[in-house]
Amino acid sequence: MDALLNEQTETQVAYFRERAEQSDPRQNTTIAIETYVDLLDRIGASDKALAESLRLMPEGVQPTGRAPSLMELALRAGTFAPLLELSRRRQDPLGYALSLLYHRLDAAKAEGAAAETRNDADLS
């Protein structure tokens, strides 16, 4: 809770990271990992949350749903390359296609914003 209030954020994140790294989701539950990932996302570190979820969550282990999905994290972080790689490695054509679609939509949106900025500058 303190981390969400910007009080002792680094200490709190370190505590939850340690708990997540020490957990054994194959023997117990994924809740420690998911709590850590959710905390990172809530403090605005969605890119770190995505990376940590990919690093800590073993393949074949079903999450509890406590943390945002990988796609939600990628959307918030604005990066889809990790999901493209994961889908390719897992030979998941649907996940790959969805990640590629969002990647291209995000790139098109960024290009549109850049073009709008250039147009605004030209009008000045």
**Residue range 6-61, pLDDT digits in tens:** 667 889 999 999 999 999 988 889 999 999 999 999 999 999 999 999 999 998 89
DSSP symbol at 23: -
- The CA-based diameter of the chain, rounded to the nearest angstrom, is 62
* Residue owning tokens 């999450």: 63
Q: Is 68 helix (H, G, I), strand (E, B) or coil?
A: coil
Least Cα distance to 103 among 81, 118, 119 occurs for: 81
Taking a C-beta distance cutoff of 8 angstroms, is the pair 59, 88 a contact? no
64-118 pLDDT per residue, tens: 999 999 999 999 999 999 999 999 999 999 999 999 999 898 888 877 766 776 6
- Is the pLDDT at 1 greater than 80? The verdict is no
In which band, very low, low, confident or very high, does the pLDDT at 122 lie, cut at 50, 70 and 90? low
